Structure 1
Amino acid sequence: MTTHITGTREEWLAARLALLDAEKELTRRSDELSRRRQELPWVRVDKEYRFETEEGSASLAELFRGRSQLLVYHFMFGPDYKAGCVSCSAIADGFNGIAVHLANHDVTLSAVSRAPLAKLLAYRRRMGWTFPWASSGDGRFNFDFNVAFTEEQQREGTVEYNFERAGHAMDATPVPLPVAQSAAMTGTDVPTYSLDRPGLSAFVLEEGAVYHTYSAYARGLDGLWGMYQWLDRAPRGRNETGIWFRRHDEYDRR
């Protein structure tokens, strides 16, 4: 017999209506946060960044692909990874269906990683994805947007991620089990794995100039995880300990 609270349909409805009020308030707060994001000052990007794409070498402006807005997902795939980060892979599973709608609303969605382009495209084929994916290679792009760090920063404890120093699980000692598990699933050790981090950065192209408008990291990416939005509405919620998910081609077929 269940240990969860049970009740009548009338009791359920009363509790559900109370929850509905809270959900509506959260929606209003979310709308207000969206407005505040859009009100952030734009910062002109004057540095010249180069990327390797399927169409050849490209500038940051060329990643827009003729549109005025660009959303970059900073996909954790370092040069020494054997495979993409399993968490980033779970997030990216939702990109194919979304990217086409964004493209028809003046927004380009592109992933950017430090691994060589050939490695990225091979992994993309394995995963069955079609969204644009560019390699920033040895350039400064990932470092400047705080999703890649040097071994020196790591040794000295000066990694600043998600707007704070040493505040993430990947910087913790001892190493948390989920971080060790994730590193192993990329075919690297923890220090190598932790040189790259996930993030989202937004840019706008106006009168030939590119401006950085927004970035988010860590739990700031929570809304991009399609599976978690569904689990949050399932009877037992996220109900997780450690890394339970796999790349979509690594599950036992049922």
Structure 2
Amino acid sequence: MGTHTIATREQGLQARLALLDAEKDLVRRSDELARRRQALPWVRIDKDYRFETDAGSATLAELFRGRSQLLVYHFMFGPDYSAGCPSCSSIADGFDGFAVHLENHDVALTAISRAPFAKLDAFRRRMGWSFPWASSFGSDFNNDFAVAFTEQQQRDGGIEYNYRGEAPMQPPLAGKTVQQWQLRGQEGPVAQIAASTGTDVATYTRDRPGLSAFVLHDGFVHHTYSTYARGLDGLWGMYQWLDRAPLGRNETGVWWRRHDEYGRR
């Protein structure tokens, strides 16, 4: 745990009041960012995307389920995964709790992944979730919203994620299995997570996480906002709690798991 300042109650109060000013400033800046986010121009969606859902085939407009707004969580679950990304899974653990509140405030929430619907539904049942989850298998949706990429894009440096281009994936990453990485003693956090989804590093990283917002206006769907990578931190509920705990995130490497895997060896 290390060393930390031990203070009197009065000293602690003074330090807390100084921090309170900074916290209030952060809230005000966050409110301003939200206003700027909502002021972004809307981009009309003209492509006919199709998804598989509990109710069968659906268009993007049908995912609104009668609401005027739609929030999509781009859940990392590629066609070759055997299980959903553990990071996305920990974020999704909170969806069922607040989805009902969003639905009663004219906002639909759905997760969308590239894996076939049967895989998604089986994993959802394993996790005990009930939130809507749609499969974009065979669709351009994930590619068009910069959360899925091809093997050629990886090799050629054609990936643009989080509004930035990425360099080509260099050997030995490209095409190496997790087992080969482990044998070479080079297993890192990404390889560790990839292994938990039943894939290698290259396959795992061809899918990425994100959130996109849409509005149904004058009979047309419009894209209003997308965010990726650290832009999703605010959705990752456990970190909001850890940031307020005495030791904060206090982490080295990948410590989190899918909620039904804690205690396993």
TM range (shorter): over 0.9
Residue number in structure 2 paired with 1:229: 240
Residue number in structure 2 paired with 1:117: 117
Cα shift at 1:206: 1.0
Does 1:139 find its partner at 2:139? yes
Does 1:10 find its partner at 2:3? no
CA contact (8 A) 1:91 1:226 kept: yes
Residue number in structure 1 paired with 2:53: 53
CA contact (8 A) 1:72 1:112 kept: yes
Cα shift at 1:157: 1.4
Residue number in structure 2 paired with 1:34: 34
Cα shift at 1:104: 0.3
Output the aligned Cα RMSD.
Answer: 1.7
Identical residues among aligned pairs (%): 74
Distance in structure 2 (CA, Å) of the matches to 1:23 and 1:178:
32
Moved over 2 A (4+): 170-176
Does 1:165 find its partner at 2:159? no
1:81-92 pair list within 5 angstroms: 81-92=81-92
What amino acid is aligned across from residue 180 of structure 1 in structure 2?
Answer: A
SS at match of 1:129: coil
Residues 39 and 14 of structure 1, relative CA distance in 2, 3 Å threshold: same
Distance in structure 2 (CA, Å) of the matches to 1:245 and 1:174:
26
CA contact (8 A) 1:77 1:113 kept: yes
Q: What is the CA deviation profile of residues 65-102 of structure 1, one whole-angstrom value per residue up to 9, with x for unaligned ones?
A: 01000000000000000000000000000000010000
3-12 or 78-87, which deviates more: 3-12
SS at match of 1:88: helix
Aligned residues: 251
Residue number in structure 1 paired with 2:256: 245
Does 1:213 find its partner at 2:224? yes
Residue number in structure 2 paired with 1:79: 79
TM-score by length of 2: 0.92
Unaligned runs of 5+ in 2: 174-186
CA contact (8 A) 2:155 2:169 kept: no
